[in-house]
């Protein structure tokens, strides 16, 4: 009989420590935080830059070495500068909280300084001062270097400011910090941030992988809101890369995850309606666009939705609906220069007029879309506008999208059911 192998002692299990990579604190500027001085002129810009600089210096100094870090009169001088500037109350609260590093560098608390800097960053972001917001969000993340949410926020604003390299390093840092601290919300969201960053770069396979990782983490930890956003993003990626039936299934999953009262539901519904319009499903798209419009309050969002209503109504033969959309888009003509989506809205309206064979309006709207698009460097809009314009002058309708053939397309019944569910939820939310 063969002898049993001797029992070998088990090797001690190695404890894995999640790696937290460093992040880009500065871009290519010669002076740290110089983008603040470039973006915000005068005394306020100087005050914001000094806040960033002081918090960064305080954060980089060991706590036992912070005594005497700043001059005795620094706090009083900062207070005087804030009074002289007369900053917005929301910003002033943030600046006063951050100034704790001057008045009490030893006793100032990381969490309080971080929160103050984040408040100032939010103020800047809301006003479109994205370079300043990045600097102040970075100050917040430096003040509390183990806080995953603060790291994620830097990545989020940096991505909005088209600083892809900086954004990526902060998102990856947020993943590591979130894993270490078991902050699963920040951990999951950081993957979505990376996914959206790669989607902006056109790398859809990588974007999809990151979103799936974020979705799985959100599911493991019952984070329903993040599940909805991950599925919503996966839907937009599938629109570009997958068969239409797969995209529609993801849209349904995102709708279920959001639920009927979620604030992101109008955005999802608008994206789904545009997806249908691109397939030639104009009737359900029109129903949903109309239900979305009352939920939109930002002028640029309203104008593009009105333009989409015009295109879908024209293709569906709804002349009254087209007329109403036309009035809404042209009523905003004095604001077109500042509305980012105005050129696209005018182009959609030109498509609607072309389908209705209203050549005068098709030509007028296409010319305006081309002009507005040229001013913004929107090459695709300019090219499409010229095609519609040429067709209108020849009195020929531009060919509209048609439903793809084959088994990879959702049925008309499934589409109509989803459209009805979206419209019912949007109308119910509007009535509350």
* Residue 280 within a domain: yes
| Among candidate residues 122, 145, 168, the one where a domain is terminated | 145
Token look-up 């999802």 returns 268
How do residues 376-407 score in pLDDT, each as one tens digit? 999 999 999 999 999 999 999 888 888 877 76
Interhelix angle 89-98/42-60, rounded to 10 degrees, is: 30
CB count in 10 Å sphere of residue 205: 9
Predicted pLDDT at 99: 95
How do residues 329-364 score in pLDDT, each as one tens digit? 999 999 999 999 999 999 999 999 999 999 999 999
Predicted pLDDT at 22: 85
Q: Report whether 193 contacts 171 (CB < 8 A).
A: yes
CA-wise closest residue to 215 among 237, 248, 239, 243:
237
Predicted pLDDT at 430: 66
- Do 129 and 269 have their domain in common? no
Q: Compute the distance between CA of residue 372 and CA of residue 388 in angstroms, rounded to an integer.
A: 15
- Do 124 and 264 have their domain in common? no
Residues 6+ apart with CB under 8 A from 277: 285, 308, 311, 312, 315, 401
CA-wise closest residue to 217 among 227, 232, 225:
227
Helices assigned H by DSSP within 130-223: 130-143, 148-160, 164-181, 184-200, 204-220
Predicted pLDDT at 47: 95
* Residue 1 within a domain: no
Predicted pLDDT at 432: 64
How do residues 46-83 score in pLDDT, each as one tens digit? 999 999 999 999 999 999 999 999 998 999 999 999 99
Report which DSSP code applies to 279: T
- Do 273 and 134 have their domain in common? no
Q: How confident is the model at residue 13 (pLDDT cuts 50, 70, 90)?
A: very low
Predicted pLDDT at 8: 52
Residues 6+ apart with CB under 8 A from 410: 244, 245, 248, 249
Predicted pLDDT at 15: 44
Question: Is pLDDT at 421 greater than 70 in this prediction?
Answer: yes
* Residue 243 within a domain: no
Question: Is pLDDT at 1 greater than 50 in this prediction?
Answer: no
Domain count, the chain: 2
220: its two tokens: 């493991």
Token look-up 């249908």 returns 276
How do residues 109-167 score in pLDDT, each as one tens digit? 999 999 999 999 999 999 999 999 999 999 999 999 999 999 999 999 999 999 999 99
Handedness of CA 67, 68, 70, 75 (dihedral sign): positive
Q: b or e along 269-297 (b: 16 or more beta carbons within 10 Å of the residue's beta carbon)?
A: bbbbbbbbbebebbbbbbbbbbbbbebbe
* Residue 302 within a domain: yes
* Residue 386 within a domain: yes
* Residue 325 within a domain: yes
Predicted pLDDT at 85: 87
| Among candidate residues 117, 145, 173, the one where a domain is terminated | 145
| Among candidate residues 145, 161, 186, the one where a domain is terminated | 145
Q: Compute the distance between CA of residue 181 and CA of residue 148 in angstroms, rounded to an integer.
A: 8
Provide DSSP, 343-406: HHHHHHHHHHHHHTT-HHHHHHHHHHHHHHHHHHT-HHHHHHHHHHHHHHHTT-PPPPP-PPPS
Q: Report whether 94 contacts 119 (CB < 8 A).
A: yes
Report the mean per-residue pLDDT for the chain. 92
Residues 6+ apart with CB under 8 A from 93: 116, 119
Domain that holds residue 285: 259-427
* Residue 156 within a domain: no
Q: Dihedral (C-alpha) 350, 356, 361, 366: value to the nearest 10 degrees?
A: 20
Domain holding 395: CATH number?
1.25.40.10
pLDDT-wise least confident of 57-71, 180-194, 261-275, 401-415: 401-415
Question: Is pLDDT at 4 greater than 60 in this prediction?
Answer: no
Q: How confident is the model at residue 90 (pLDDT cuts 50, 70, 90)?
A: confident
Helices assigned H by DSSP within 295-341: 299-315, 319-331
* Residue 249 within a domain: no
- Do 296 and 422 have their domain in common? yes
Token look-up 């905003």 returns 332
Residue 11: φ, ψ to 5°? -70, 140
Report which DSSP code applies to 28: S
């Amino acid at each position: 009989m063969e002898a049993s192998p001797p029992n070998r002692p088990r090797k001690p299990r190695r404890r894995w420590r999640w790696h937290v990579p460093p992040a880009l604190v500065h871009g290519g500027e010669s002076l740290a935080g110089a983008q603040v001085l470039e973006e915000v002129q005068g005394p306020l810009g100087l005050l914001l830059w000094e806040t960033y600089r002081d918090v960064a210096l305080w954060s980089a100094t060991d706590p036992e070495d912070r005594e005497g870090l700043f001059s005795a009169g620094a706090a009083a001088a900062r207070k005087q500068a804030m009074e002289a500037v007369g900053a917005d109350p929301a910003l002033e609260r943030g600046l006063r909280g951050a100034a704790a590093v001057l008045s009490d560098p030893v006793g100032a608390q990381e969490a309080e300084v971080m929160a103050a800097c984040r408040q100032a960053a939010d103020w800047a972001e809301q006003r479109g001062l994205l370079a300043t917001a990045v600097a102040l969000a970075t100050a917040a993340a430096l003040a509390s270097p183990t806080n995953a949410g603060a790291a994620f926020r830097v990545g989020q604003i940096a991505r909005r400011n088209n600083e892809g390299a900086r954004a990526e390093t902060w998102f990856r840092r947020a993943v590591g910090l979130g894993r270490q601290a078991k902050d699963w919300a920040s951990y999951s969201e950081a993957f979505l941030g990376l996914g959206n960053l790669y989607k902006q770069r056109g790398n859809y396979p990588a974007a999809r992988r990151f979103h799936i990782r974020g979705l799985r983490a959100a599911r493991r930890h019952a984070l329903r809101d993040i599940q909805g956003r991950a599925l919503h993003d996966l839907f937009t990626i599938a629109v570009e890369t997958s068969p239409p039936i797969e995209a529609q299934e993801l849209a349904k999953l995102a709708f279920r995850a959001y639920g009927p009262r979620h604030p992101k539901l109008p955005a999802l519904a608008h994206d789904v309606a545009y997806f249908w319009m691109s397939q030639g499903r104009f009737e359900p798209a029109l129903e949903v666009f109309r239900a979305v419009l009352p939920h939109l309050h930002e002028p640029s969002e309203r104008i593009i939705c009105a333009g989409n209503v015009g295109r879908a109504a024209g293709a569906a033969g709804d002349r009254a609906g087209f007329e109403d959309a036309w009035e809404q888009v042209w009523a905003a003509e004095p604001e077109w220069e500042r509305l980012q989506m105005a050129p696209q809205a005018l182009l959609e309206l030109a498509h609607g007029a072309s389908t209705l064979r209203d050549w005068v309006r098709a030509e007028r709207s296409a010319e305006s879309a081309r002009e507005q698009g040229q001013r913004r460097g929107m090459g695709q809009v300019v090219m499409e506008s010229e095609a519609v314009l040429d067709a209108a002058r020849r009195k020929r309708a531009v060919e509209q999208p048609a439903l793809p053939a084959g088994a990879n397309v959702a049925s008309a019944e499934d589409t109509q059911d989803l459209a009805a569910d979206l419209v019912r939820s949007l109308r119910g939310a509007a009535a509350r």
